[in-house]
Each structure stands twice: as C-alpha cells, then as structure tokens.
Amino acid sequence: MKILLLSFYDLGKQPKIISELYQKLNNGTNEIDIVDYSVEEKSIKLNDYDALGIYASMHTASVLAEEYLRHKELPSKLFVFGLYAKVFTEIFHNFEIIQNLDNEDLESLLNVQLNGEYSFKHSVPDRTVLPSITDYSHIVDGSNNLIAGSVETTYGCKHECTHCPVPIEFNGTFKTFGTDKILKDVSNQVEAGAKHISFNDPDFFNGPKHALKILQALNSEHPEITYDSTIKVEHILKYPDYFKELKNLKMLFVISAFETTNDKVLNILKKNHTSSDLNNAVELSLSNSIDIRPTWMPFSPWTKKQDLPNIIRLIEEYKLRETVDPIQLTIKLLVPKNSLILKNPEIDNYLQEYDPASFSYSWKYKSPDMDKLQIDLFTYVLHNESLDEYAQYLGIVKIIEQHTEQNLLESGDYNQRIVPKLSETWFCCSEPNKIQLERIKSNKALI
C-alpha cells in the first residue's frame, strides 16, 4: 500500500509523531512518503497514493491543510490525527479520525497489518525520516543561532483551561512517555547537532517529579545542552523548589501563559491564577535568574480598556521588554466548535456565526473601542515586521498610550538585555494572523 503522511505546521518543531507513525506503518511492504510543508516545498499528486494521513496538530496547521487540500483529488483512504482532528472533519467529512494511533483503528481503516513492535509510549522515534532538525526553529541568542531539538516527557494536560484545545481531547488527564525513549531521543538529536532541547509538554510540571528526573538524567548525560519548557503560573508557584532547581539544570527560559491581568477573564478561562500571581511568578523567576517568557491573550469579549495598560505596566515594572514577543500583545481568543468556553453562558452574548473556513466562531466586543485597539496594534505589527522586536514593543506601547491617554513607559534609562529565545514563538490556542500564515507558507517562519 502507498501511504502519504502530511504535516503542515507543528509550532516550529519537527513533527515527531509523523516519524512514529511511519515506524508503526512500516511493516516491510507498505511504501510510505512524508512531507512537512512547514519546511519543504514539494508538488505531489495525491491520488497516486492509496491512503493519505493528515496531521492536524493545531489550528494554524488545519487552516493550512484545508487550503492545500481544497479542490484536490484525494486517495480513497483518508485519515486525520492530532488535537484538531475533530475540528478538521467538520470540513472534510470523508476523513476518519484516528484518536489513538496505538490501537487497531488505523489497522482496520487501512486493512493492513501494522508494526506491532512499535509502542508510542516506549519506542524511540526515528527522526531521520523527517527533514533535518537544522530546518526547524533555532535558539537565537544575540548573534548566535543554535540548532534546537525537541522532546516531550508527557502528553495531555491535567488542567481544563477553557480556551485551550488540549483538554478537549484529554479531558484533564495526561500520560508520561517512557524514560529510556526520551533519553535516547534526545541523544539522537544531540548527535544530529542539537545544542538546545525544547520540552514540548503542554505543561512541564504536570508531573513535576517525572519531569525533573528526566531533566537531571539529561543534564548528567549532556551537561553542555540547554533547555526550555512551558510551565503554567499556578505550577510555578505551587512547586517553587522544583522551579528553583531548573536553573542548575540549564533551563534557559520558561514560557508561561499569563494571558491577561484581568481577573474576570482569568476566571472565565479557568487559568487557576490571578493577576497578583503573575507578579509572584515573575519575582520568583527573577530571584532564581530564570527568564520567564510570558505569552498573552489580551483580547477576549470581556477585555476592558484598562487591561492593555495594566499588562504594559507589569512588563515595565519587572523590565520584561525583551521576554515578551510583541505579536503576543495583539492576540485574540479563538473559539473552535468544540471549545470548552462554549459551555460558559458568559460567551452567549458575544458569539456570532461559525466560519467553517477558519474553523472557528467569530465574536464581537460590547465596545467597538476594543476592536479598534486590537486592529491598530495588529496593523502596526503587520507593517513593521522588519523592525526588531524591541522597537516593535515600543511602537505598540505608543499606540496603547494614544488609545488610553496614559503614559506607560517607565521613565529613565532602560538597560536593554540580550536574552535567548526560540526563532519561532507561536503558540497553539490563538488565531493565526496573516503575517504568521504567510511566513509559515513561505517557510520563512523558522529561519
């Protein structure tokens, strides 16, 4: 059987799951091709294949896949997997959702025997079937550009934030990957040139003991390698001793979803943190010399005019200008069809039509001022993409100052720092904007 596996975008990382699926499908007789359109350009006749598998990893990937597949003649056997598989089939009804790649669903759809020896929990992915890690997101540290790899210690998440696609599939649960699998996968990537590893776990501290054990083992095996991970504010504050330990284990920075300083919104999103927790998390990170890179979702139906100035004041108070990606300050809530936020009656007054092409509902603010502010900020970033991020941040603050008639920049000199960051700083539960879609499509997002 001839099988084609397609990936469109996985947040700048190698789509490891595709290599694992390759191994699962590789029974000695199947012929399997892989294309990752986030880094490759290939013209392919889809109906030359017997089966097509699409990796719908997240919203942006699904938008790109829809655009690619539109009006194409497809093979007879079609399947989709990943967090957005269900959302994807709202447009492509003829695709079968494969929720669990480790059970017999795929085998019965394709009617071929799979490689029973391959276990997603324990087997080591063969990443050599994917484009090289050098093609994906790098660590940028001043003028240094370092090859980065990625790995997960867990999958799923024990939380149920209402704007996030993860709990829709995992219902507040998570599982761990085998230790040997993780260690060997990282060693293979170090051998391939990685100088840094990103932990892709939705939250690195869902299982903090497991995570630290892995990190300690990695650190003793590869003392020169640095790391980053994503940890929610609640977990940073709940496990301060584990958090402190990260510095000794070469955690370069921690990404943390702050979202907003508006407590009502944080409550609706079920973030389990408050605005004052943000201050505490930043103070803990500063006292331990671990950079926090906050991600934001300032625009939701409940955004108030004072929210943006409050966010900027927090950034200014703790001198975080270099650790905030300016595009983050323009992000809007995304509401896909099965979003948990739809269970909250608070959204009813704002919700509008479902737009199948964008896989989401549109919604509108009570006050048109918020819409105007978001559009002005977004347009600014769109037209100033060539500016460095520090200058973009200052431009954004200026617009917020004009809209709110407040002075927000700290007076006095600001000692601009050079801090390490990933070259691709996208995160999954927000609406992709035109800039990002174009950059991903032209393979420029990962340079």
Residues that bind ligand SF4 (CB under 6 A): 157, 159-161, 164, 166-167, 202-203, 232, 257
| Closer residue to ligand SF4 (CB): 13 or 159 | 159
Residue 399: CA count within 13 A, CB half-sphere: 21
Q: How far is the CB of 162 from ligand SF4 (least distance, A)?
A: 9
CA-based diameter of the chain, in Å? 69
Handedness of CA 71, 72, 75, 81 (dihedral sign): negative
**Shortest distance in whole angstroms from residue 167 CB to ligand SF4:** 5
Which residue's entry shows tokens 């004041």? 313
Report in angstroms how near the CB of residue 425 gets to ligand SF4 at its nearest.
16
Q: Which is nearer to ligand SF4, 189 or 339 (CB)?
A: 339
Cβ distance to ligand SF4 smaller for residue 165 or 420 = 165
In the sheet where 2-7 sits, what is the strand order? 31-36, 2-7, 51-55, 77-81, 96-97
Name the 3-class secondary structure at 357: helix
Based on CB atoms, which residue is closest to ligand SF4, 255 or 400?
255
State in angstroms the smallest separation of the CB of 304 from ligand SF4: 22
Smallest separation, CB 258 to ligand SF4 (Å): 11
Whole-angstrom CA distances from 243 to 146, 182, 293 are 25, 21, 15
- Report in angstroms how near the CB of residue 33 gets to ligand SF4 at its nearest: 32
Cβ(431)–Cβ(360) below 8 Å? yes
Q: Pull the structure tokens for residue 395.
A: 């431009």
Token digits for 343? 């269970």
- d(Cα 278, Cα 314) in Å, to the nearest integer? 9
Min dist CB 164 to ligand SF4, Å, is 3
Shortest distance (Å) from residue 231 CB to ligand SF4? 9
How far apart CA 90 and CA 84 sit, in angstroms, is 10
Phi and psi torsions of 356, nearest 5°: -60, -35
Radius of gyration of the chain (CA): 22
H/E segment holding residue 268 = helix 263-268
68 or 427: whose CB is closer to ligand SF4? 427
Which residue's structure tokens are 């699904």?
62
Asked if 388 and 142 touch (Cβ cutoff 8 Å), the reply is no
Least Å distance, CB 156 to ligand SF4, is: 9
CB environment 317-339: b (16+ within 10 A), e (fewer): ebebbbbbbbbbbbbbbbbbeeb
- Which residue number, 338 or 367, has a Cβ lying nearer to ligand SF4? 338
Q: Name the minimum Å distance from CB 220 to ligand SF4.
A: 29
Dihedral of CA 222/223/228/233: which sign? Answer: positive
Which residue's CB is nearer to ligand SF4, number 381 or number 429?
A: 429
Between 211 and 381, CB nearer to ligand SF4:
211
| Minimum CB distance to ligand SF4 smaller for 118 or for 426 | 426
Would you say 418 and 322 are in contact if contact means Cβ atoms under 8 Å apart?
Answer: yes
Name which of 53 and 202 has its Cβ closer to ligand SF4. 202
The single residue listed with the structure tokens 């070469």 is 250
